[in-house]
Amino acid sequence: MNEREYYVPSATYWPIIGSIGVTTLFVGFANQMHGASWGASIMALGFSILVFMMFGWFGQVVNESTSGMYNTQVDRSFRWGMSWFIFSEVMFFAVFFGVLFYARQLSVPWLGGSGNNHFTPDLWNGFSSTWQQIAFSTPGLILQSGTVISVPRQLVDAWGLPALNTALLLLSGVTLTFAHHTLRNGDRNKIIGWLVATIVLGVLFLGFQITEYGHAYHDGLKLTSGIYGSTFYMLTGFHGFHVTVGVIMLTVILYRVQKGHFSADSHFGFEGVAWYWHFVDVVWLGLFIFVYWL
Amino acid sequence: MTQIIIIIIIIAILIALSIGLLGMLKGGKAGSNKMFKSLVIRVALSLSLFIIVMFSAYMDWIEPNVIMMDAFSFQ
């Protein structure tokens, strides 16, 4: 395509289908949360619409790319688009890390009576502020207030599952870097192996997270378990969602590599997904250190 | 001291990741090289940080945010 021409895509219906899919998914989710028996079915329908949209929309863009419709000008617009998307993601997680900082360092100590004259230690009789998680050997221990706050040891023990999951994600960063290196050297067969390893490590991470969420909920740590429970699940849950999105993106890239779509000099699709995965990796490292250690 | 080292490495990781993003935004051969090199540094720093945190915990230089106990009285 001529460098002085700009490819303008024709009108497309995929964004509308995507919006319908997301709306359906969340209507189903909200009703599932409120105990509606049909909530899960509506969620499944919304998810199916989303998958359909992804296949259609990704396919359309890939076809346009492989048929030579894109020039360097379009490439630049893709890079800017990805960068703004990444900026929104950085701001998204910055808010949650900010919430963690505010709740832990400021609001909870204030409620305990420290550092602010507006609050007193007698706000609630016997209340003492603490952020540290308390892991009981007795699951489901009932406190005098009637609140269950015990948590499974394996979830909160920083030496256990969190460390294992951190190692898995960091390892996936290494395998992805090897995939990137081999792609830049044009060694297609090796890329596939490294990409598959990255995807498997991501899925393993998600599997451990889901299993431990099940244990945590069963043993009493819930979204409603005070500010700690809310912050913990919002941070780790949204991170898990991003790992899921990353695994889907890596799977699409794997498919494209098998189809021979990327060259050693031109592989923006791979670069965008690779950076996203490195970002998700760093977010987890931050979570691991600030939630469990510092 | 250990905490300061950990924070410094985290900042270095964020800088490496940001330089990688700028490389991706720039594109071309130079941008691609810049992105790849900074991401390699990012991975190396992250692995180092993980090892430092685990070793520091093993040496009791840092304490986890978890209290293990068998019983608890609220009042």
**How far apart are alpha carbons A141 and A158 in whole angstroms?**
21
| A159 residue type, one letter | W
Backbone CA torsion sign across A75, A78, A80, A83: negative
Query: DSSP readout, A30-86?
Result: HHHHTT-TTHHHHHHHHHHHHHHHHHHHHHHHHHHHHTT---HHHHHHHHHHHHHHH
**How far apart are alpha carbons A115 and A146 in whole angstroms?**
29
Q: Which residues of B touch A135 (CB under 8 A)?
A: 66-69
pLDDT of residue B59: 85
- Over 80: is that where the pLDDT of B71 sits? no
Q: Please name the residues between 6 and 65 in chain A that touch chain B, using a CB distance below 8 Å.
A: none
Query: Which candidate, A257, A125, A133, places its Cα nearest to that of A192?
Result: A257
- Neighbouring-strand partners of residue A12: none
Angle at A30 between CA A24 and CA A36, to 5 degrees: 100
pLDDT of residue B45: 96
pLDDT of residue A128: 66
One pLDDT digit (tens) per residue for chain A, 294 residues = 566 677 777 788 999 999 999 999 999 999 999 988 899 999 999 999 999 999 999 888 888 888 888 778 888 888 999 999 999 999 999 999 999 888 888 887 777 776 656 555 566 666 666 665 555 545 444 443 444 444 555 445 656 788 899 999 999 999 999 999 998 888 878 899 999 999 999 999 999 999 888 877 777 777 777 788 888 889 999 999 999 999 999 999 999 998 888 887 888 889 999 999 999 999 999 999 988 887
Question: Which domains are delineated in chain A?
Answer: 106-292 (1.20.120.80)
Q: Which residues of B touch A275 (CB under 8 A)?
A: 17, 20-21, 24, 35, 39
Q: What radius of gyration, in Å, describes the C-alpha atoms of chain B? A: 19
Q: What are phi and psi of A122, to 5 degrees?
A: -95, 15
Residue A169 C-alpha from the chain's centroid: 12
pLDDT of residue B70: 45
pLDDT of residue A145: 40
Domain boundaries, chain B: 2-58
Compare all CA atoms of chain B with the CA of A272 and give the residue at the minimum distance.
Answer: B24
Q: Residue A282 corresponds to which tokens in the numbers above?
A: 């760093």
pLDDT of residue A185: 87
Q: By the CB < 8 Å criterion, does A173 face chain B? A: yes
Query: DSSP readout, A233-290?
Result: HHHHHHHHHHHHHHHHHHHHHHHHHHTT---SS--HHHHHHHHHHHHHHHHHHHHHHH
In this complex, do B10 and A286 lie within 8 Å of one another by their Cβ atoms?
yes
pLDDT of residue A143: 43
Q: Please name the residues between 78 and 97 in chain A that touch chain B, using a CB distance below 8 Å.
A: 79-80, 82-83, 86
pLDDT of residue A142: 41
Residues A127 and A110: beta-carbon distance below 8 Å: no
Counted across chains A and B, CB pairs separated by less than 8 A come out at 130
- Neighbouring-strand partners of residue B67: A134
Compare all CA atoms of chain B with the CA of A293 and give the residue at the minimum distance.
Answer: B64
Place of tokens 């360092």: A105
